[in-house]
């Protein structure tokens, strides 16, 4: 890993954060990964029910973490739980994450499968991105990681379609 990469605030490498950035930045990363801190505004979030978002047809088993300053900054929770699907995103990042899922998920979901499991596919992607395996999930990506992941998956597809 280069010095420049380690010093860049844009990159969050959790496994090196403690040694390179210290406890404060590590704690911030963890709070962001738990939906408790807005990564844009660095302010607190609140847990809201679906009826706040979808007044007409609320789903009582669906929760969100939402930024207290900007209502566009939010993330949904795993169904029936208060565990966030990833970090808080804005609408632009949500579109990018959807694009990533559409490109990446077929690698382990669709036959013929490029990877035998979701876990193996993510392990491969983590290696390509230089990210800590434990934190490599599309839900945790920022814009830059989404764009890189899209590029990596596209290259992989091209390589395997010309073989």
Q: Which is nearer to Zn ion, 11 or 87 (CB)?
A: 87
Minimum distance of Zn ion from residue 43's CB (angstroms): 6
Collapsing DSSP to helix, strand or coil, 79 comes out as: coil
Q: Which is nearer to Zn ion, 6 or 52 (CB)?
A: 52
- Residues at the contact surface with Zn ion, assessed by CB under 5 A: 38, 40-41, 67, 70, 73
Minimum distance of Zn ion from residue 35's CB (angstroms): 12
The size of the chain, in residues, is 163
Q: Which is nearer to Zn ion, 45 or 145 (CB)?
A: 45
Burial class (CB in 10 A: 0-12, 13-18, 19+), 36: middle
Contact 98, 66 (CB under 8 A): no
Contacting residues for 92 by C-beta, under 8 A, at least 6 apart: 143
Minimum distance of Zn ion from residue 114's CB (angstroms): 36
Task: Provide the token pair at 31.
Answer: 């709070």
CA angle 143, 160, 147 (to 5 degrees): 5
Q: Which is nearer to Zn ion, 32 or 149 (CB)?
A: 32
Minimum distance of Zn ion from residue 95's CB (angstroms): 17
């Amino acid at each position: 890993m280069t010095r420049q990469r380690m010093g860049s605030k844009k990159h969050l490498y959790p496994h090196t954060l403690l040694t390179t950035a210290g406890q404060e930045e590590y704690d911030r990363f963890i709070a962001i990964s738990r939906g408790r801190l807005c990564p844009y505004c660095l302010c607190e979030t609140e847990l809201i029910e679906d009826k706040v978002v979808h007044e007409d047809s609320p789903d009582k088993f669906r929760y969100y973490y939402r930024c207290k300053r900007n209502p566009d900054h939010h993330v949904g929770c795993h169904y029936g739980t208060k565990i966030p699907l990833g970090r808080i995103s804005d609408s632009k990042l949500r579109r990018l994450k959807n694009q990533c899922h559409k490109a990446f998920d077929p690698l382990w979901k669709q036959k013929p499968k490029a990877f035998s499991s979701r876990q193996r596919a993510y392990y491969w992607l983590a290696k390509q991105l230089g990210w800590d395996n434990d934190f490599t999930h599309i839900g945790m990506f920022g814009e830059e990681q989404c764009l890189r992941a899209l590029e990596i998956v596209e290259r992989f597809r091209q390589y395997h379609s010309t073989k």
